[in-house]
Amino acid sequence: MGLQAVAFVEASDGLADASVQPGRSGTLGGVTPVLPNARRGRLRTSTATVYALCERRELLLGVGPEATREGEAVRAIVYTHYGPADVLQLKDVGKPTPGNDEVLVRLDAVSLNRSDWEGLTGEPFYARIGGLRRPRHQVLGSDIAGRVEAVGKDVQRFQPGDDVFGDILWHMGGFAEYVCAREKYLAKKPAGLTFEQVAAIPQAGAIALQGIRDKGQVRKGQQVLINGAGGGGGMFAVQLAKLYGAEVTGVDRGDKLNFMRSLGADHVIDYTREDFASTGKHYDLILDLVARRSVFDCQRALKPRGAYYAVGGPGATLLQIALVGPVVGLLTGKKLRVLVVKPSVTDLLHLANLCEAGTIVPVIDWRFPLNETPAALRYVGEGHVKGKVVVTVGHVDT
Ligand X SMILES: NC(=O)c1ccc[n+]([C@@H]2O[C@H](COP(=O)([O-])OP(=O)(O)OC[C@H]3O[C@@H](n4cnc5c(N)ncnc54)[C@H](OP(=O)(O)O)[C@@H]3O)[C@@H](O)[C@H]2O)c1
| Contact footprint for ligand X (CB under 6 A) | 113-115, 118, 203-204, 207, 227-228, 230-234, 251-253, 271, 289-290, 292, 311-312, 339-341, 383-384
Closest distance to ligand X from the beta carbon of 226 (Å): 9
Residue with CB nearest ligand X?
Answer: 231
C-beta of 118 vs 196, nearer to ligand X: 118
The Cα 395–Cα 145 span in angstroms is 10
Closest distance to ligand X from the beta carbon of 313 (Å): 6
The Cα 105–Cα 181 span in angstroms is 7
DSSP 8-state assignment for residue 38: P
C-beta of 113 vs 222, nearer to ligand X: 113
Closest distance to ligand X from the beta carbon of 269 (Å): 8
C-beta of 113 vs 223, nearer to ligand X: 113
Q: Classify 58 as helix, strand or coil.
A: coil
Closest distance to ligand X from the beta carbon of 237 (Å): 8
Closest distance to ligand X from the beta carbon of 41 (Å): 41
The Cα 130–Cα 147 span in angstroms is 29
Quick one: three-class SS letters along 170-216? CCCCCCECEEEEEHHHEEECCCCCCHHHHHCCHHHHHHHHHHHHHHC
Closest distance to ligand X from the beta carbon of 215 (Å): 11
C-beta of 201 vs 311, nearer to ligand X: 311
C-beta of 3 vs 361, nearer to ligand X: 361
Amino acid type, 96: P
Contacts 24+ apart (CB under 8 A), 9-13: 9/35, 9/38, 9/39, 9/40, 9/41, 9/42, 9/43, 10/38, 10/40, 10/41, 11/37, 11/38, 11/39, 11/40, 12/67
C-beta of 155 vs 310, nearer to ligand X: 310
